[in-house]
Amino acid sequence: MLKHGSTQSKVLENLWIAKNLLDYPPNVELDRDTDLAKGDVEAIQRARDWAENVVAPMAEVWEVERRFAAEAFQSAGQNNLTGLLVPSEDGGEQISVIGLARVLEEIAAVDFSVAFSLVCHNNLAGAVGRRAEGSLREKVLPGLVNGTSLGAFLLTEPNVGSDAAAITVTATQDGEQWVLNGEKAWATNGTDADVLSVYAQTDSSLGHRGIATFLVDANAPGILKTPGYQMLGGHGLGANSILFENCHVPAESLFVPTGEGFRAAMEGIDLARVLVGAMCCGMLRTALTTASNYVRQRLAFGGRLADLQGVRFKLADVSTDLEASRLLTYRAARTFQEGRDAAVEAAHAKKFSTRVTESGIASCMQVMGANGARRDHPLPRHLAASRLTHYVDGATEIQDVVISRSLLD
């Protein structure tokens, strides 16, 4: 009898996983979708078809040309993928959090940049649907829902990243207007955005309690958009810096009042962390499927690469990490969906998923040899994107802060 945890036991476990992974085609039809509402399932299928037919043919083009995936966003609006958190009475679909996570998993399985762009946009559209009132709601919400307006979330600054409470962009009242001054950085969708959700300090003596949020026309006087950042990858995000120089906005632009802005930002970030975990699952799933199909066909040393134990065990480890990422991510999504505090679970999901996705994609590329580095499949693009996932919506070290605080404080 083998002792649990022994070397022989681990070998047998890897053999069993590898046999199921490589002797039979991977099951990409995920059975967990059967527990979702009809509207969720329809949105997931629509997103999968859209990603394969619209995003896949252009993903490398956006990366090579180092520009925002404008065609993808325009098409997303036409395919009802821009109002997924907005009530139906406002033209949206208001799918569940789990449904949204699955939608983004499917899109990220093809391209992370487009998926993350839609995270930021849908998060903003959902927040406007929940909070905005009167003329501000009427002015902003319809365009966000139908995709004729692109939204961007402006929290980070050049010298303020993880410490969001320390933002320095100011909002000063001037009669019936507010005047914005300062610079925001790492604005996803920023190069092409139409609506800016700007977090600004209204009273520095109040610290994070002085933060308010404004919805601003991105083409208003006093706003300067810089060109998109030149990065390792992920250029389809359209990430850039946006400067405000005595930018006057009407009083109705105040979206989240002073004292509530910081909390609203943190709520949105918790959801975004769950969704990053789901997107990592999509990228890692694609890597595992691509590598598995490749080693089944590739012949070397008198047989298939898939028959070499070193190859089989490397992919078995990736498969285990993918299953663990799914469990952590969708547990956090369910907690969030049920209205409970999901901050710690979201931190666990993002921390683990980002880590194993980067290493897992690299392992999948490794078993493909030099062909793993070619850009005629999505793995090199996914590998670059997986590095970016360590930074968006709070770096890995911030997840450790959240987790350790729950353990020790």
Other beta carbons within 10 angstroms of residue 271's beta carbon come to 25
Q: Domain residue spans in the chain? A: 31-150, 152-261, 265-408
This prediction has a pTM of: 0.91
Closest listed residue to residue 248, CA positions, set 178, 197, 198: 178
Closest listed residue to residue 201, CA positions, set 212, 215, 216: 212
Cα–Cα distance list, 397 to 226, 333, 401, 402 (Å): 28, 21, 6, 9
Closest listed residue to residue 363, CA positions, set 267, 288, 264: 288
CATH class of this structure's domain 31-150: mainly alpha
Per-residue pLDDT of the chain (409 residues; tens, 9 = 90+): 555 566 655 555 565 555 566 664 444 455 566 679 999 999 999 999 999 999 999 999 999 999 999 999 999 999 999 999 999 999 999 999 999 999 999 999 999 999 999 999 999 999 999 999 999 999 999 999 999 999 999 999 999 877 777 899 999 999 999 999 999 999 999 999 999 999 999 998 898 899 999 999 999 999 999 999 999 999 999 999 999 999 999 999 999 999 888 888 888 888 999 999 999 999 999 999 999 999 999 998 889 999 999 999 999 999 999 999 999 999 999 999 999 999 999 999 999 999 999 999 999 999 999 999 999 999 999 999 999 999 999 899 999 999 999 999 8
SS3 of 197-208: the string is EEEEECCHHHHH
Q: Which fold has domain 152-261?
A: Butyryl-CoA Dehydrogenase, subunit A; domain 2 (2.40.110)
Q: Which fold has domain 265-408?
A: Butyryl-CoA Dehydrogenase, subunit A; domain 3 (1.20.140)
